[in-house]
Chain A
């Protein structure tokens, strides 16, 4: 395994683990959230450098339906990430408190909530579109290919977790935060933070499953001959 792909794999893995942790901001701890948010942003930049080919090839080649969708999703993630980081820094109560920004604070608060939630959904979708890469990581880690049986087991596992994720999505009314129908986020402090973390993981799986199915379908549309 090449050194670069090992780094890629580790960066992707850490980002995947950190994203749900960032989403449970107040439960994880407000100061910790700010540090992890900054770290996430740095990893994001690294992720772009490691996948720089994407930028190089943006203006090359044909745009199939899947590729177009992927490009739109990626552009959305890029935008949301930058806005999340900027608004987060403006809102900061600890790490960047010395900047003491108070003007524009209401706008930053709204922007942070909307952008982080869109980023969460789009990133999960993006993960699903690239599930093959994830599978590749796993195969490399095991040193051999996944058989049909274990593939099936994973598929069922993802489906079950995804169904639970749908339930969490409905219960938390996550779309309210995406479309700013709710001004403030609700966190249940009576629950264990780790449980809420797993809830967000399950929502990630839900959107990853959707991303996988959608791109799979679209690939077939783009290649009608086979």
Chain B
């Protein structure tokens, strides 16, 4: 009898504790709505629309915002077809298959009008990535991580000096940024620039990308609040979510 009383008491305590605790362990906390004043946003959105037609053309000067991202899609060989249903790593837009990070980069472009840069490696990654054990991509990436490799990049930002703001997007690849992102950070000196990180993952979140990035770019100003969602939520994201994040971190102020 006494033990039942104790149990009931414990349950009550749990409910009490649950109410006051900080339960935000999900990586989705950034998608919370925040009220925005739409003063400079409309302006930047217009700018975004103008430039959004020809992506990847970094020559079209004008913007001081760079949106660089890495994604599996676009970096793999074409041996195996991408399975849009079983792979949580893609967003389908009509005929098009976008990588999760690509989709997020485009949302940021919509809102900021920045130039998109796709971080592409010279050597492509194996396309075999399914739920089976030992798929080639797992094996390959594990090796790359263990060797702390710096894969050579095929794309380069010629006019890095023109940018004051760099958005850097990356998926979580085995608890770390993909090694190609380190290649990117090694290639450019981002001193004096403002760096914003955005990420998607299979639930692992951005991990220690903040401290890794600030360690590699000590003279850049890296924003600690990373926009991070789980890959199952990427397709539901809208411009508004990006806008909310940007106003939360005081972008453009």
- Do A and B truly interact? yes
29 contacts between A and B (CB under 8 A): A26-B175, A26-B207, A26-B208, A97-B146, A102-B139, A103-B134, A105-B134, A105-B138, A106-B132, A106-B134, A106-B135, A106-B138, A109-B174, A163-B10, A163-B13, A163-B17, A167-B18, A170-B18, A171-B21, A183-B203, A184-B172, A184-B201, A184-B203, A186-B26, A186-B203, A187-B207, A188-B25, A189-B205, A189-B207
Closest chain-A Cβ to B135's Cβ sits at a distance in Å of 7
- The verdict on B156 contacting chain A, using a C-beta distance below 8 Å, is no
The main secondary structure of chain A at its interface with chain B is helix
Contact call A189/B146, Cβ cutoff below 8 A: no
Contact of A171 among B23, B134, B142, B172 (CB under 8 A): B23
Contact call A184/B138, Cβ cutoff below 8 A: no
The residues of B that contact A186 with a CB separation of less than 8 Å are 25-27, 203-205
Within B206-250, which residues are at the interface with A (CB < 8 Å)?
206-208, 210-211, 224
- The verdict on A160 contacting chain B, using a C-beta distance below 8 Å, is yes
Contact call A102/B21, Cβ cutoff below 8 A: no
Interface residues, chain A, CB within 8 Å of chain B? Answer: 26, 93, 97, 100, 102-107, 109, 159-160, 162-164, 166-167, 170-172, 182-190, 213
The residues of A that contact B203 with a CB separation of less than 8 Å are 182-186
The residues of B that contact A213 with a CB separation of less than 8 Å are 3
Write the chain A residue with the least CB distance to B23: A171
- The verdict on B151 contacting chain A, using a C-beta distance below 8 Å, is no
Contact call B202/A189, Cβ cutoff below 8 A: no
Give the docked Cα–Cα distance between A49 and B162 (Å): 67
Contact of B210 among A93, A106, A189 (CB under 8 A): A189
Give the docked Cα–Cα distance between A107 and B175 (Å): 16
Write the chain B residue with the least CB distance to A166: B14
- The verdict on B143 contacting chain A, using a C-beta distance below 8 Å, is yes
